[in-house]
Structure 1
Amino acid sequence: MSLCINWCKGKGVDPKHALMVRQVPTDVGIDTIEETLHTIKRLGRVKVRGKMFDPEINGLVVLCVCSEVVNIREIPMDVVPSVGGEPWVLSVPENMDNGNVPQAPVPPPEPPTFTTEQFLKSIGEILEKTNRPVVPENTAFKRLRAFSGNIPPPAGEETLDTLLMQAHLMVDECVCSDGEKRKRIIESLKGPALEMAQAVRSSDPNATPNDYLEALERAFGSSESGEDLYYVFRALRQNHGERLSDFLRRMEHALTKVVYSALNNFCGGQLSQTLC
């Protein structure tokens, strides 16, 4: 538990949103880990924040951050990887001090008995919610907090992971147009992050909101060394049943990180601020 809490503090991760994955083979890439954990809907969006090798289990221990608060009673104790193989063990910080022993399951409540009147009333409420009007574009979904890309984040600013989680939630659930979503993302940026967004807009005026978020993640998101990124790229393999186009997109994403890391080192670590 002490190790996990210290790991969360070092990575700037809220322990309530932290998840540890054990017994992960060393040749498994970050994309595969995130893809596997995304099958557990209760976790929301999942990002890998760190990896370490555990010689006792001859495998990796992976620290992940989830957009939802992690409750060990609402998720499975293990998960089968998307590429097949032995299950990976899941644990959370608040449950590590008791040996990850799950609590006894609570028996489901007996189904309620509905009268005809109650049934018709429930159907009416469902139809009313289903037919609700479209929300106007000027209705605030949730204002994104400021982000500049400076490290450490100044007071009043979000970390990149928190910004991306909030922004992806806004993009996925808000009913407004892509133009309004782009506007809300750009309005939350300043400093080097705003310069990066302006560069994306200059190169492609029709860039989607996700294009802006991917550019921010590439520029400010990776804390791994160039050697680690290159090792992940070299270890990429096409998954069983994966379409070639999807595999090529994964390769392109991993290669972009390697190239950006190399350019960032060449520019003395100032690429995100100077855009080279």
Structure 2
Amino acid sequence: MESVLYKKYQDTLSSWCKGEELDPAHAILIAGVAEDVSISQIEELMQTVRCWGRVRVRGRTYSVEAGGLLVLCECKEEIKPQIVPPEVRSDDGTIVWHIVVVDPRPDLSDASEDFVGKLQSFLQAEGKTIADLQDYVATSAPAKGTEEFFIHAMAEVMKQSNRGMAESHSYRRLRVFSGITPTPMGEEQVEYWLEQATVMVEGSDCPEKEKRRRIIESLRGPALEIVRSLRFSNPEASSDEYISAIDRAFGSPETGEDLYFAYRLIQQKSGEMLSDYVQRLEPFLAKVVRKGGVRAQDMNRVRIEQLLRGAVGADIMLLQLRLKEKRANPPTFLELLSQIRVEEEHERSRRKVHARVRSVGAQDCVSATDFDLQELRADVKALQAKMSELKVKSNPVSKESVSTKVQVR
């Protein structure tokens, strides 16, 4: 937007705020809004920008120069011109609105003041101050010089910030959870939502404020009301406290001790592989830890003890893995699962070898039996041939003796 036109819109904003008895520090002017855009659409799009909080439309007027409507908006948060974006765009890029504030933009001709203002805004967004940066430089600056190290420190801070911003734009959103029973289609059950939220909070490098925002944007209905109540009573509540509130309101009412005893009763099913049994135990064990039934540092030991107790169909494999000897220094879940899978593969290989040996032995026995049977058949045929030969030789003698007897008579 041209500077002359921007200055004119600033004057319009100031006059409009006086007429509406609106504090200019909580007001912004939107230029270029199409006439067919409703107030609810304007407020919804503007509230996607976090720097001014909740937005409410206070008035609209048509402007030929803007090519559309000028919209006066009241913001919940105080407007800080240094961090206000010059324009707002929709996700698909089809909507572009120019933003005007009363306070003038930083004077670009004064490079030093512009740098200091941007540096203060940047450090404030990161939860730091210039004093913190100066203390870090004073305590860590090497012999090569403070100025050079200050530049290096700023580069590191910028690198961490860019990594956090990249994560903020690329993270996988939490599934929606409302706490309504039965669970509506498209929403997550409380146990699965708690697992996802816990992983996000523990594994993300983003600021605490961003973690809280991610949790809130995934909640609906009764679940959102629970977090709102928590924020009202404790505005500084952490993301862990948000998750704990949802767990207490909608999670299992069982205590950590009850869940631990139930965990100790889980046994291996008939025909179930030991690796499958371990994987079936792990989500339940994580739930026990989350409820306080077991300390996180004791998970590996408890897992080994339950294997020795509940793996009723894998005694030989447990001996081969020597799990009793590993109680003092138990492996992690991934290490244990890898060891079990390797041993299961060895067991399958041994079974294949034994099956081949039995098959070859059975074939040898069948071959020897067939050979004896053939030899016996040959002997029988030879004996039959000899008997036939004897019969032929005995027939002439029989006939001659019969004829002689007839002549005598």
TM over 0.5: no
Query: Normalized against structure 2, the TM-score is what?
Result: 0.26
Identify, as 1 or 2, the structure richer in helix. 2
Question: Based on CA coordinates, which of the two structures has the bigger radius of gyration?
Answer: 2
Query: Normalized against structure 1, the TM-score is what?
Result: 0.37
Higher relative contact order (CA 8 A, sep 6+): 1
